[in-house]
Amino acid sequence: MTTFPYSEDGNKRYHSWNYALRETFGGKLFKVPVDGGFDCPNRDGTVAHGGCTFCSVSGSGDMIVAPEEPLPIQFQKEIDEMHKKWPNVKQYIVYFQNFTNTHAPVDVIRARFEQVVNLPGVVGISIGTRPDCLPDEVVDYLAELNQRYYLWVELGLQSTYEETSHLINRAHDYQTYIEGVNKLRKHNIRVCTHLINGLPGESIEMMRENVKRTILDSDIQGIKLHLLHLMTNTRMLRDYQEGRLQLMSREDYVSVICDQLEMIPKEIIIHRLTGDAPWDSLVGPMWSLKKWEVLNAIDAELIRRDSYQGKFDVRQKERV
């Protein structure tokens, strides 16, 4: 295979997040997670109660260092920890990670975001949210931010199947996701879609189809592919205990990730191919704790196949 065109030092066969940042900013950046103090519409009764069945009490923010602190202090504590390993990094992307970070009146959102986007070294902002929490006035503010900073909106989709979405209590449908992407793209806002592999009832073929539909139906610039982490104190734990959920093996996960990468156009940035979970609250799969082994296995499988991202680009196939 010739060198993959979006690869740092020629050693990756997919368009990695690190490569994209180095190309844009000329060096390494920190993506700094913070807790903005927002809730979720399917927790607070706006659309449902209880939250997504896979979600922990921290709303996917388990790894944030000091979520109870004011935002500028959270930010500083996070970068202090990161600087212990990479002392020379001076540029940062603030990541509003957990829960739904556009689920509030726009004045509240603006007040919280502006506390950190103007801190020294901040060049970008990444906002985790849901497609049903993008009212016009919020999108207008995001469009303003997009003029000032390197902005990504990360939309939780998780599955394109309505039966799965109902089972995990997403409380929005696939069409709402399509409309949410369209609203953001009218302002040229970059969109990164989150999908989870290993959700209850979904086969390997359904996981492949989730990626195919997402790529064909929405104009996205990035994608995050997650492994389902089964956590303690989540509603999904009951599905597992009652036999409705089978945890993926590492071999199956690596294989389906490579299948999905082959379908994704080369220019789409791969923000993540697995995830992090705290060991003390993870029920499984326990192999996921060895993140670098998983990533190395994905690299090895692509080499074994003599394959790469976009080899079977679904957009190209549709045009043919």
Please check the confidence at residue 61 and state whether its pLDDT lies above 60: no
Q: Which two tokens mark 280?
A: 């003390």
273-305, pLDDT tens digit by residue?
998 888 888 999 999 999 999 999 999 999 999
Of 64, 141, 125, nearest to 91 by C-alpha is: 125
Q: Which of 162, 178, 180, 182 is nearest to 170 (CA)?
A: 162
- Bond from prior residue into 285 cis (ω within 30 degrees of 0): yes
Q: Which residue has the higher pLDDT, 51 or 155?
A: 155
Instruction: Delineate the domains of the chain, giving CATH numbers in brackets.
Output: 17-318 (3.20.20)
| First CA to last CA distance, the chain | 23
Instruction: Tell whether the model's pLDDT for residue 44 goes beyond 50.
Output: yes
Please compute the mean of the pLDDT values over residues 166-180 and round it to a whole number: 95
Q: Are the CB atoms for 226 and 197 separated by under 8 Å?
A: yes
Please give the Cα distance from 210 to 206 (Å, whole number). 6
Reported as a pLDDT band with limits 50, 70 and 90, residue 9 is: low
Residue whose C-alpha is closest to residue 148's, from 183, 121, 124:
124
**What's the average model confidence in pLDDT over 114-136?**
97
CA gap 275, 56 in Å, rounded:
14
Query: What does the pLDDT average to over 222-226?
Result: 97
Average pLDDT over residues 198-221: 97
What is the rounded average pLDDT for all residues in the chain?
93
CB 61 within 8 A of CB 35: yes
The number of beta carbons lying within 10 Å of the beta carbon of residue 210 is 24
CA-nearest of 190, 117, 100 to 151 is 190
Q: Across the chain, which distance is largest between two alpha carbons, in Å?
A: 54
E strands of the chain, at which residues? 30-34, 92-96, 122-129, 150-158, 190-197, 222-227, 230-231, 269-272, 282-284
Return the structure tokens found at 223.
């994608």
Cα 252 from chain centroid (whole Å): 21
10-35 average pLDDT score = 92
Phi, psi of 198 (to 5 degrees): 100, 15
- Rounded to 10 degrees, what is the CA torsion of 313, 291, 239, 167? -30
- pLDDT for res 57: 64
- Model confidence pLDDT, tens digit, residues 228-249: 999 998 889 988 998 889 999 9
Distances (CA, A) of 54 to 59, 158, 176, 201: 9, 11, 21, 14
Q: Is the pLDDT of residue 59 over 50?
A: no
What pLDDT is recorded for position 63?
A: 65
pLDDT at position 10 is 63
Q: Check pLDDT > 60 for residue 86.
A: yes
Tokens at 313, concatenated: 């680009």
**What CA–CA distances, in Å, run from 164 to 30, 159, 181, 205, 313?**
34, 7, 20, 14, 25
Does this model's pTM top 0.85? My answer is: yes
Query: Is the confidence at residue 68, as pLDDT, over 90?
Result: no
Separation between Cα atoms, residue 270 and residue 223, nearest integer Å: 5
